Amino acid sequence: MQHRPARLTDVALRAGVSPATASRVLNPSNRGVKDANRARVLAAAEELGYTTNIAAQAVARGRTTGVTLLLRVMPDDYANPIVAGVVDAVRNEGLPISLVVAGPQTKDIIDAVHIARGQRTQILMTTGGRRTDDKDLPALVDALQRYEAEGGRVVLISQEGLPFDTVTYANKQGAHDLAVSLVELGYRDFAILAGFANGMTQRDRTQGFLEGLGESGVSLSADRIVTGEFDRDAAYAATGDLLRRGIPIDAIFAVNDAMALGALTFLRDAGARGTGIGVAGFDDIKSLRDVTPALTTVHLPWDDVAAEALDLALSERVDGPRLRVVHGHVVIRESTPRRG
């Protein structure tokens, strides 16, 4: 990997064409270029990570001060607390911020990273969970490394394990502590709405909860762990399925608050069948202030997450990636009253 942005002349050399021909392909006007030459230029640009004239102009100006925050889609039940925290932290530093919202696939994130490279902001933060079977992850790492090779700083708000400075949540520990707290309240018959089977955040929270139950002397059979989509509507449907199967349940743990709200809503709509079942979530999103009964959850300090990420981005470079772990704490509310 080269340690400067690819130039038009590099693309032309790789494609075996003149710089003028490469320019006509990569700029808005590409008239008079043979299809074969056009294909070679585009292939060379892709291989070299060339980001067209936007990057070239930005190189001439120098890297701009500020932060680009890159999101994998923007679900209002998860991303907004992170967005609000980062925006506040960046504003407090007196820095400009721009937002790039990508699609749900890793390939979408890679395209968005190249957009951010063209903007050439000083700092790129990305947020969102990863999948355990993501075949496009090496390409994403390569795109982010190109960003840093060109002089930018990358900070991930995500799981650890990639070669970049990272802020992560103590997902296992928070879920473990929640399980212990619920057992202390008298709950024994649990079900878990676990979200994506291959999601790393969902996996860690599920495993942490199971470990907490195990340490408290409570076991959970596999038919009580429901995987699926990671949202409110999926949780609503999954709660209905649990009740229709006749599984004895006195508490449901949903691996995020949006799913917990879906479970609460189904239990309310179910009338008498839904009474006596506690519900707990994870994240402590702000919309919980408007929910009745108030939801038991694991509170994550979103402002601390953002502050840690910005501190990493603005501090001096060191050899090797750094990791900051932000811990949450259990908040018991009316959705899980003491039993007995």
* pLDDT per position as a tens digit, 180-189: 999 999 999 9
- What are the residue boundaries of the structural domains of the chain, listed by start? 8-50, 63-169+303-327, 171-300
**Helices and strands in the chain, H and E counts:** 12, 12
Report residue 94 CA to chain centroid gap.
25
pLDDT reading at 190 higher than 70: yes
Percent of the chain with pLDDT over 90: 52
66 near 98, Cβ under 8 Å? Answer: yes
Give the pLDDT band of residue 31 (cuts 50, 70, 90).
low
- Helices 35-48, 19-26: axis angle to 10 degrees equals 80
pLDDT at 72: 77
Domain 8-50: CATH class, spelled out: mainly alpha
* pLDDT per position as a tens digit, 312-322: 998 888 889 99
Which residues, including other chains, have CB under 8 Å from residue 321's CB and lie 6 or more apart?
162, 163, 164, 165, 166
pTM of the model: 0.78
Give the pLDDT band of residue 76 (cuts 50, 70, 90).
low
For the CA atoms of 233, 334, 296, 211, the dihedral, rounded to the nearest 10 degrees, stands at -110
Mean pLDDT over 119-129 rounds to 87
- Please give the structure tokens belonging to residue 307: 């502050």
Residue 264 dihedral angles phi and psi, to the nearest 5°: -60, -40
* pLDDT per position as a tens digit, 193-241: 999 888 999 999 999 999 999 999 999 999 999 998 888 899 999 999 9
Higher pLDDT: 325 or 45? It is 325
Q: What is the DSSP letter of 131?
A: B
Based on the number of CB atoms within 10 Å of its own CB, is 259 exposed (0-12), middle (13-18) or buried (19 or more)?
buried
pLDDT at 27: 67
- Please give the structure tokens belonging to residue 142: 């390569």
pLDDT at 173: 97
Percent of the chain with pLDDT over 70: 91
Dist CA 105 CA 84 (whole Å)? 23
Mean pLDDT, all residues of the chain: 88
Give the pLDDT band of residue 52 (cuts 50, 70, 90).
low
Asked if the domains 63-169+303-327 and 171-300 are classified in one and the same CATH topology, the answer is: yes
pLDDT at 337: 97
Q: Is the domain 171-300 a CATH 3.40.190.10 member?
A: no
Q: Which residues pair with 67 in a beta bridge?
A: 97, 123
Dist CA 177 CA 183 (whole Å)? 10
For the CA atoms of 18, 19, 20, 24, the dihedral, rounded to the nearest 10 degrees, stands at 110
- Please give the structure tokens belonging to residue 107: 């390939």
pLDDT at 59: 45
User: Which CATH superfamily hosts domain 63-169+303-327?
Assistant: Response regulator (3.40.50.2300)
97 near 87, Cβ under 8 Å? Answer: yes
